Amino acid sequence: MTYEELVLRVRDVYENADAREVFEHIAVQVNVEGEAAGAFYLEVADRQVCVEPYDYYDRDILVTVDTRVLLDLLDNRLGYREAIDNGMLRIEGNIVKFGLLSKIKIHNK
């Protein structure tokens, strides 16, 4: 999998996400390690989710994750709590805003 394919995969998962319960602006930069290394951001604004293949310098949260772990998270084969507890997902920044991301409802295809 290439970096571009990974960003498209994340975008595909979040394009129809329901963020109506998230009233705050949240900017997350995701640094991906491994096979499809690179950075992208996920932004929640106006109760909608946007995923773009760029750094987000004024971010609230920085997440570092391996490509395979990210794919497992996207496919619900791994939970975020388990990934964090086992050191597979590292988070820096506003942990309260990170918790608000759990209010986003994903409609997997």
Residue 65: which CATH number?
Answer: 3.30.1050.10
What tens digit of pLDDT does each residue of 37-84 get?
999 999 999 999 999 999 888 999 999 999 999 999 999 999 999 999
Structural domain containing residue 79: 3-103
Quick check: is 109 in a domain?
A: no
The pTM (predicted TM-score) of the whole model is 0.91
| Structural domain count of the chain | 1
96 falls within a domain: yes
In-domain check, residue 73: yes
Neighbours of 46 (CB within 10 A): 9
Q: Which two tokens stand for residue 109?
A: 């295809």
Is residue 108 a part of any domain in this protein?
no
Task: Flag whether 53 is in a domain.
Answer: yes
Higher local confidence (pLDDT), 55 or 33: 33
CB 104 within 8 A of CB 17: yes
Assigned token pair, 65: 């994750």
Would 9 be classed as within a structural domain?
yes
| Strand blocks (E) in the chain | 26-33, 38-45, 48-52, 61-66, 89-93
